[in-house]
Structure 1
C-alpha cells in the first residue's frame, strides 16, 4: 500500500510540477512556426547577400546596354616645349607654351548582333540569378522549420526527462520505505538508485541538446526562442506523382538550370560572331591655343571605319570551342538537376511516410505502455512484481513518449521538406506576413543604364539610400 499511495502521489506531483514549470517558462506571447519563418525571412544575412548579388547581375544588363550607345570622352593638356640651338657660335634658347582641349565620340554602327547578344546573355543571367535567390529563400525557410521543430523536440524531451527524474525519485523513496518495513531487499533500493542516476544523466544530455537547439534557432531565425507553440496542422501536400511533376516544371533549381543552358547557347553565338568585323563611327573635336602669342586653331574629324580580326593565333576558335563545351556541360547539368529534384521529392515523401507510421505506432505504444505500467505498479503493491519490474515498465512508457515526440517533429520536418523539394517553400507560397522582396524593382530602375543626373538615376539613388547602400 505504501508504493501504491506514493506512486499515485508521484503522478499528481509530476503533473502539478510540470504545469507550474510551463507556466513559469512561458512568455507573455507564444511564437508560432509562421512567426519564426517570418523572422527568418526578415533577418537572414544569406538572403541579403544573394539579393545584393542579384542587384549586381542587374547591373550587368546596364553595362551591356551601354555598349550600344555613343561613348563620349574629353581630354585636356598643357604642353611646354623648350630647347637650345647652337648656330655660328651663338647659343639660342627657345620655349613655347600650348594648351589644347578636345572631345571625342564613338558609336558602334554594326557588329553583326554581338552587343545585342551580350544584352540577352545579361538578361538571362538575371533571370537565372532570381531563381537562385528563390532557392536560397527555400534553404533559409527550411532551416528555420528545422530549428523551430528541433527546439520543440528538445524542450519536450527535457520536460519528459524532468518528469522521469521526479517519478523515479518517488519510486526510490517508496522502495526505501518498503525496505525499512522489510517488504523489499537492499537490491531493490540499489536498482532504483541506479535508474535515478541514469535518468539524471539522460536529463543532462537532453538539456545540452536543448541548448544546442536554441543556439541554432537564434542563428536561423534571428533571436533566441521563447515559448514555441506546436503547429496546428501539417501543410497540405499533393500525391507524390503530382509533386514530382510540379517540381520538375517549376522548382527554382530547374528553372535556373534551363536559363543557364540558354545563356550557354547565346555565348556560343557570340563566340561564332567574334570573327566578324565591326563598323563604327568616330568623331573628334579639339581646340589648341598658343599661350605665348594667343594664336589658336580648332578642328575636328569624323571617321567611318571598319575593323576585324585576321589572325589571333587560334584564340577565337578556341573560345568558340570552349563555349560549345560549356553549353554541353550546362545541358548535362540540366539532366543532373532534373534527376536530383525527382530523387529529393521521393526521399522527402519516404521520410514523411516513415514519420507518419512512427507517430501512429508510438500512439499505440503509449496506450499499451500506460496500461502495462499502471498494472505492474498495482501488482507491485501486492508483492507480485518487483521494483525492477516497475522501473522497466516506467522506462517502456518513457521510451514510447520520447518516440512520439520525435515522430511528430520528424513528420513536420518531412512535410516541409516535401514543399522545399517541390519548390513551394517560399514566403509567397506560405503566405507569410512579411514585406516580400521584389526582385524586379531594382532591375526596372537600371535596365536602361540611367545616367546619374537623369530622372531615373535620381530615383535609383533614392532606392539605394532606402536600403542603406549609398
Structure 2
C-alpha cells in the first residue's frame, strides 16, 4: 500500500497549503496600506470629510448675528423737472447724489444668541459624525481584509481536502488492483472527492466576491494572494483585561454616535430657544452717516451731511399664533431627539456586550482550537497506522482528514473574530485610532 508515500504526499500538500494561506510576498498589501488607501479612496469617508468641512462654517454663521453689521449705499441720478407757478412753466435739470453708511449692533437679541449657540453645536456635531465615520472606515477595511483572508483559508483548505481525496483515490485503485481493497472504499473516496470538488468551486466564487468588496473599499485592484496573511502566533493585548463595566463607562463618555445624538438634543433645545425668541423684544444700537447733494427739487445745488446715533427697540405683539406653533413644533422635535439618543445608547450598549462576549469567548476558542488542530493531526497519523494494522478502514481516515480541515478553518475564523471584536470594542469606546490599526497590523506578516 506504500503508506509512507501517502504520508509524504499529504505532507507536501499541507506544506503547500501553508504557503498559500500564510506565505507573504514582497509586494503584499498590508493592513495599514489598505487602511491608508481607503482614507484616500473610500467615497463614504470622503463624503463625511467634506460634510465636516461644511459643518465647521456653522460656528461662524451663528456668530455673525451677534457681531455688528455695516452697510453702505450710494445713488446718483439725473433729474428733469417742470415747475409751473401762476401759469408760468420753468424747466429745471440737475444731478442728484446721495451716499449713506450705517452701522447696526444688536444689544439684546435672543434669536441671534440661540443661533450662535446652535451654530457651535452644529460644528461639534459635524466633527463627531466625521470621527464616527473615521472609525467606521477602519472597521470596513479590517472587516473586508480579514474576510478575504478567511475565504483564502477556506479555499486552501478545500483544495487540500480535495487533493487528499485525489491521493486517496489513487491508493484505493492500487489496493483494489492488488486485491487488497474493496469497491466500497473506492466509492466512498470518490463520493467524498466529488463533494470536495464542489466545495473548491464554491470557495473560489466566495473569494472572488469578497475580493471585489475589498477593492471597493480601498479603491484599488486586489490580486489574489497579495494580502499579508495572519501570523500563527497569538498574543492577548493588555487592553483585553478591561471588564465589561470599564468598556461601558468608556462608551458613555466617548462614543461618537452617542455624542452625536446628545449634540442633536442640544441643537434641538437651542431651536426651542430660538423659536421662543419670537416673543422677546430686540434692542439694536444704530449709527449712520449720510451725505446728499441736490437731494430734492427744493435743495438744488445744496449739500447736506447728517450724522446720527441711537437705538431701535422692536417688541413683537402678535403674529397670528405662528410663534407659539413653532415653539410647540421645536419642543416635539427635541423630545424626538431625546428618544433617538436613548435608542442609540441602548443599541450601542447591546452591541458592546456582544462584542465583549465575542472577544472573551474567541480567546478561549482559539486556545481550544489550537489544541484541537494538534490533536487532529495526531488522529490522522494514528488512523493511518491503524489502517495498516487492519483495525481501521478507509472511511475512518477520510473522516479524520475532514475533521482536521474543519478545525483549521474554525481556528482561522476564531482569530479573525478576535481581531474584529477587539477593534469594535475600541470603536464603541470612541478610542479607535490609526495607532490601533497599526497595532493590529502586527498580526499580519
Asked if these proteins are the same fold (TM beyond 0.5), I'd say yes
Residue 375 (1) aligns with residue 382 (2) = yes
> Is the CA contact 1:285–1:300 (under 8 Å) kept in the aligned structure 2?
yes
Residue 353 (1) aligns with residue 357 (2) = no
> SS in structure 2 opposite 1:28?
coil
User: Using a 3 Å threshold, how does the CA distance of structure 1 residues 111 and 38 change in structure 2: closer, same or farther?
Assistant: same
CA distance in 2, matches of 1:365, 1:63: 63
Partner of 2:324: 317
More deviation, 67-76/347-356: 67-76
Task: Give CA-to-partner distance per residue, 1:110-169, whole Å, 9 cap, x none.
Answer: 234432332122112212222222111111111122112112211122222222222111
User: Using a 3 Å threshold, how does the CA distance of structure 1 residues 180 and 98 change in structure 2: closer, same or farther?
Assistant: farther
Unaligned runs of 5+ in 1: 87-91, 434-470
> Is the CA contact 1:31–1:229 (under 8 Å) kept in the aligned structure 2?
no
CA distance in 1, matches of 2:19, 2:267: 62
> SS in structure 2 opposite 1:27?
coil
> Is the CA contact 1:257–1:337 (under 8 Å) kept in the aligned structure 2?
yes
Partner of 1:166: 163
RMSD: 3.5
User: Using a 3 Å threshold, how does the CA distance of structure 1 residues 398 and 113 change in structure 2: closer, same or farther?
Assistant: same
Partner of 1:411: 418
> SS in structure 2 opposite 1:228?
coil
TM-score, normalised relative to structure 2: 0.83
CA distance in 1, matches of 2:40, 2:388: 58
Partner of 2:31: 33
Partner of 1:57: 55
> SS in structure 2 opposite 1:175?
helix
How far residue 81 of structure 1 moved from its aligned partner, in angstroms, is: 6.3
> Is the CA contact 1:105–1:282 (under 8 Å) kept in the aligned structure 2?
yes
User: Using a 3 Å threshold, how does the CA distance of structure 1 residues 70 and 419 change in structure 2: closer, same or farther?
Assistant: closer
User: Using a 3 Å threshold, how does the CA distance of structure 1 residues 383 and 310 change in structure 2: closer, same or farther?
Assistant: same
CA distance in 2, matches of 1:105, 1:432: 61
How far residue 78 of structure 1 moved from its aligned partner, in angstroms, is: 5.7
Partner of 1:150: 147
How far residue 316 of structure 1 moved from its aligned partner, in angstroms, is: 0.8
Partner of 1:328: 335
Task: Give CA-to-partner distance per residue, 1:46-99, whole Å, 9 cap, x none.
Answer: 33322222222221221222223333334455656679999xxxxx99896756
Equivalent of 2:290, from 285, 310, 327? 285
How far residue 325 of structure 1 moved from its aligned partner, in angstroms, is: 2.4
Partner of 1:456: none
Residue 239 (1) aligns with residue 243 (2) = yes
CA distance in 2, matches of 1:307, 1:154: 70
> Is the CA contact 2:21–2:229 (under 8 Å) kept in the aligned structure 1?
no
User: Using a 3 Å threshold, how does the CA distance of structure 1 residues 45 and 95 change in structure 2: closer, same or farther?
Assistant: farther
More deviation, 352-361/247-256: 352-361
User: Using a 3 Å threshold, how does the CA distance of structure 1 residues 428 and 396 change in structure 2: closer, same or farther?
Assistant: closer
TM-score, normalised relative to structure 1: 0.79
**Aligned ranges 1:294-309 → 2 under 5 Å:** 295=301, 297-300=303-306, 302=308, 304-309=311-316
> Is the CA contact 2:261–2:340 (under 8 Å) kept in the aligned structure 1?
yes
